[in-house]
Structure 1
Amino acid sequence: MAVSLTLHDLNLAALAPEILLMLGICVFLVIEAVTGRTRPMPADRLALATLVLPLGAVLWQYGHGQQYAFGTMYIADELAYLLKLCGIICTASIIVYSRRYAAEHSIRQSDLYVLALFSLLGQMVMISGGNLLVLYLGLELMSLSLYAAIGLRRDWMKGSEAAMKYFVLGALASGFLLYGMSMVYGATGSLGIADIVNRVYSGMASQQVLAFGVVFLVAGLAFKLGAVPFHMWVPDVYQGAPTAATLLVAAGPKLGAFALLFRLLGEATIELAPIWQQMLVILAVLSLAIGNIVAVAQSNLKRMLAYSTISQVGFVLLGVVGVYAGEGFPPSDQAFGAGMFYMISYVLTTLGTFGMIQLIAREGFEAEEISDFAGLARRSPVLAFIMAVMMFSLAGIPPLIGFYAKLAVLKSVVAAGYTWLAVYAVMMSLIGAFYYIRVVKVMFFDKPADEAPLPVDGQARALMMANGAAVLLLGIMPGSLMALCIAAVRSAWNLG
């Protein structure tokens, strides 16, 4: 199959953020190799400077509408702009939060930051993928960076074990995805999302082969999101990895995984929504149950947050479930918009929770047990209040962003006719509220082992306060972000 692209088809302006980020990473590596410890500026500032031009490019693109590169292999639309913007902010926050933690826990900062930047590059490629192979390349670039980041503390056996588990199971999940993509190609004769949509809609695709392909796609996506029964890696990796690497795995990649979910299910196979919708219902039900119930029994905070992640992913899948309301109803942009809003709110709250663990941790002290937060309100009332805001948001208590995110998802589920599923989700959320509130109780009512004031890096403290303020303000005034999410989905679907 011959493919010819004109200079206009290449349209490298659509790839400006990715090109600038790649060039910035190359400059970062050259400076690191040439100057070593005598570099002109600290590694964290150099990494943050690397993000400035890609951020400017995304903001510039936002006002120039939808663009394509390499034909339609690469898509730059409002959905891509919004998720890339969130991804860049997320990576910058991770760099600031992890600066002192990495220095005190034998992690080479420049290695951690360059892996974070490569992970962001993979996310951005995945977010804009308009071709199945481009999506897969972005996924692998992101995943390989995460495997290496988890194992950065080579003298720490738990981290090496977590990296190996993630690598082996990640390779299995990638195989599922690649096999599903190959079946979609076999059924439609194309790897381009636009061509796949047209051929499925026109009845030119083999429905049986396509249905089998969708099963493998959903299995691979469920692993990347951490949904039950493909969740086995989440608790072990979250607990075993250094907290800086845990935050790297828990935050930004979820944005890329949602983009992958949207491109594969919300665009390429949207005509098969009646098939994959039923699979997502099962995944959501299991994730909400296992995630919330098992989290209650955890004493390790990182492991508890891992099971919390599984339950939160269940809510994201509920949002996607609401996209199809039966024969004769068009796909709901409100449902995917609610799922996207929920994922952004989850990432924002995750930055705060794992960032807080890093702020409290010290050399030789990981601060990953719930008991390690005992009496935090006496040592640092501001940090205790912010952590309480994060816990209440994850529990879905108003007026925080987590409450509105859950409400928006439940509305879309009820609108699709799944009232029983909404009731079930509320019941599971009540179970989840217990273990979140337990952390707040420990911080405010338990006696601390050490009552000395808690020294915290000034920039990290300021960022943490901004993080907490965002969780509160976006809960009180969520309309703008929700409108951006719905507009992004409508833009991707070319609904105007």
Structure 2
Amino acid sequence: MMIDNISWLAIYPEIVLLVMACVIALVDLGVSSARRTGTYVLTMLTLAVVAILQAMYASSGNTFYGWSNMVVSDAMGNWLKCFATVSLMVTLVYGRPYAADRDMLRGGELFTLTMLALLGICVLISANNFLVIYLGLELLTLSSYALVALRRDHTTTTEAAMKYFVLGAMASGFLLYGLSMVYGATGSLDIGQVFKAINTGQIRHQVLVFGVVFIVAGLAFKFGAVPFHMWIPDVYQGAPTVVTLIIGSAPKFAAFGMAIRLLVDGLLPLAIDWQQMLAVLAIASLLVGNVAGVLQTNLKRMLAYSTISHMGFLFLGLLSGVVNGTVDSNAAEAAYSSAMFYIVTYVLTVLPAFGLIAMLAREGFESEEIADLAGLNQRSPLYAGVMAVCMFSLAGIPPLVGFYAKLSVLQALVASGHGLHVALAVFAVLMSLIGAFYYLRVVKVMYFDTPLTATTVSAPLDARVVLTVNGALVLILGLVPGGLMALCADAIVRALAT
């Protein structure tokens, strides 16, 4: 069902989020609790309402265009926004005790900036116009820069924020320059009109490819793909763990949504060009991410290189939707739905992994080194079990959900029948074998090494409950992945149909 020009209806969840972010910023001025209990509760209630609205929109299956086609509300976008909202709710549950112990809750900035970052994510995913894409991107990145620098008196954190800001500004410039080149060639900022203009075949191919190169470079930075990965290890390690959890989870949905809007909805006639770029980025990311990950001793830095390798896998899904310049609806559905399934399950898995790092930290001790997990099973079997499930899932070991995520991408590659795609699938499997080493090393340290400390591990009840549910979902969705796979497939089919 297509409903055009219902502008306000298309952005109701975003309006609620924006209004409540402003309200919460004002309400927080009167909150005196050291843990910002009132602000926290109001933030969680707001995010719950927004997530329910987004899920209702997604379940309806309707597609709304608003604001002169600048904004689109469809099933794929609304599910991505819903997953991003839920992931930030989980993040705040894991990270609030950590932030309170480090005096990061002197004001309500953590909650307000998180909500503004989510607003940027939602705008970015809903964008159907180059200007709206850039508006959402800047709202997300500026909020992220401020979050990384939240511990103003911490040298490492400030350094990470500066690196993130400088490299992020450069990447945003790349993307903006690429968008301006495509605009100059096609004469339109509307993604649908750009698609039609390119499809006429009357525009100089060289100008378009020049723009696509810069667009893909900007996207690669947001995903953290090699060679635009330099910021990820430093920022993940230097940022407070709660902030690492924020920037390592929900923004991945925004990057995926932006990639689908730009590459598939707008630049699909140029697929033969951007597929080659994604192939190079995927190969480099899988190689560098897995080989460098083996060398890491810092857990957050290891997970950063893990992110790089997983984004390489995601690119393999995105590039297999078009074969030899020919768009096949079945191949496109399989490829893009496998990529969406991959990003959802990846975020689901890294949430408890980073959450555990935050929970294991205590005052004056960050618990970031792999060696800090020594003998964790003897101190807390629950925490060790959840971390082991996450590591096995990230390594792609059945029957956990990470195995089926990798399998769906590999199936899409092989099913395309293209020789290069099959070779990429084989390469990805080999790189996954290398990557399995550093995941299994974490499990070995937790279960077989002698504890360095006898300190008991404690966390609030809500964090323990959410962690248990989160870990259980990684296992349950691995045993019965069909429901989530079907949801992703339906969302992609509806998005491609419009």
8 Å CA contact retained: 1:11, 1:69:
yes
Shift of residue 328, structure 1, vs aligned partner: 3.9
What is the CA–CA distance in structure 1 between the aligned matches of 2:392 and 2:449, rounded to whole Å?
18
Shift, 1:308, TM fit: 0.5
Correspondence for 2:367: 367
CA deviation string 1:100-125 (max 9, x = no partner): 00011121262111111111100000
Q: Secondary structure at the match of 1:348?
A: helix
In 1, Cα distance between equivalents of 2:113 and 2:358 = 18
Does the Cα contact within 8 Å between 1:325 and 1:415 map onto a contact in 2? no
1:60 Cα deviation (Å)?
A: 2.6
Match of 1:472 in 2: 475
Write the distance in 1 (CA, Å) between the matches of 2:350 and 2:179.
Answer: 31
Give the paired residue count.
489
- Determine the structure 1 residue equivalent to 2:69: 72
Aligned residue number for residue 346 of structure 1 = 346
**Corresponding residue number in structure 2 for 1:14:** 10
Aligned residue type for 1:197: F
Letter aligned with residue 54 of structure 2:
V
Superposition map of 1:315-354 within 5 A: 315-330=313-328, 332-354=332-354
1:432 equivalent to 2:435? Answer: yes
1:224 to 210, 214, 222: 222
Q: Which moved more, 1:10-19 or 1:234-243?
A: 10-19
Matches within 5 A, 1:286-435: 286-330=284-328, 332-416=332-416, 417=418, 418-435=421-438
Q: What is the letter of the counterpart of residue 308 of structure 1?
A: S
The reply to whether residue 90 of structure 1 matches residue 87 of structure 2 is yes
Partner of 2:496: 493
Asked whether 1:44 is paired with 2:40, we answer yes
Query: Contact (CA 8 Å) 1:188, 1:204: kept in 2 or not?
Result: no
Partner of 1:450, secondary structure, is coil
Letter in 2 for 1:20: V
Give the structure-1-normalised TM-score: 0.96
Distance 2:219 2:395 in 1: 25
| 2:165 match | 167
Q: CA RMSD in A?
A: 1.6
1:212-264 CA-to-partner distances (Å, cap 9, x unmatched) read 10000000000110000000111000011110111111000011001111111
Deviation of 1:208 (Å): 1.8
Q: In the alignment, what sits opposite 2:149?
A: 151
- The structural deviation recorded for 1:327 is 4.2
Cα offset for 1:35?
4.2
The verdict on how the C-alpha distance between 1:238 and 1:41 changes in structure 2, with shifts beyond 3 A counting, is: closer
Structure 2 counterpart of 1:465, one-letter code: T
Displacement of 1:80 in angstroms is 0.7
**Contact persistence 1:197–1:269 (CA under 8 A):** yes
Task: For residues 115-152 of structure 1, give each alpha carbon's deviation from its aligned partner in whole angstroms, at most 9, with x where no partner exists.
Answer: 11111100000000000110110011000011000011
In 2, Cα distance between equivalents of 1:204 and 1:69: 29
Structure 1, 61-70 or 33-42: larger mean CA deviation: 33-42
Alignment check: 8 A CA contact 1:28 1:50 kept: no
The secondary structure found in structure 1 opposite 2:321 is coil
Q: Is the CA contact 2:31–2:39 (under 8 Å) kept in the aligned structure 1?
A: no
| Structure-2-length-normalised TM-score | 0.96
Aligned partners of 2:59 and 2:75 also within 8 Å = no
1:447 paired with 2:450, answer yes
1:118 counterpart = 2:116? yes
Residue deviations 1:66-116, cap 9 Å, x none?
111112110000111110110110010011001100011121262111111
Instruction: Specify the code of the residue in structure 2 equivalent to 1:415.
Output: A
Higher mean alpha-carbon deviation, 230-239 vs 57-66, is at 57-66
Could you tell me which runs of 5 or more consecutive residues in structure 1 were left unpaired when the two chains were aligned.
Answer: 1-7
The C-alpha deviation readout for 1:453-478, integer Å capped at 9, x for no partner, is: 31121110100001001101111111
Counterpart residue type for residue 493 of structure 1:
L
- Shift of residue 329 of structure 1? 4.3
Give the whole-Å Cα distance in 1 for the aligned partners of 2:432 and 2:202: 43
- For the residues of structure 1 that align with 2:76 and 2:23, how far apart are their CA atoms? 29
Q: Mean alpha-carbon deviation: is it higher for 45-54 or for 290-299? A: 45-54
In 2, distance between residues paired with 1:25 and 1:221?
27
| Per-residue deviation, 1:38 | 9.2
Cα distance between partner residues in 2 of 1:363 and 1:320: 43
2:319 maps to amino acid: V
Q: Distance in 2 between matches of 1:254 and 1:405?
A: 15
For residues 27 and 106 of structure 1, what CA distance do their matches in structure 2 show?
A: 23
Tell me the equivalent position of 1:484. Answer: 487
Shift of 1:206: 3.0
Q: Is the 8 A contact 2:321 2:327 kept in 1?
A: no
Identity rate, percent: 50
Q: Is residue 2:117 matched to residue 1:99?
A: no
Structure 2 match to 1:282? 280
Residue 255 of structure 2: aligned partner: 257
Unpaired runs of at least 5, structure 2: none
Q: Distance in 2 between matches of 1:80 and 1:204?
A: 31
Give the secondary structure class of the aligned counterpart of 2:228: coil
Q: 1:30 aligns with which of 26, 32, 42?
A: 26
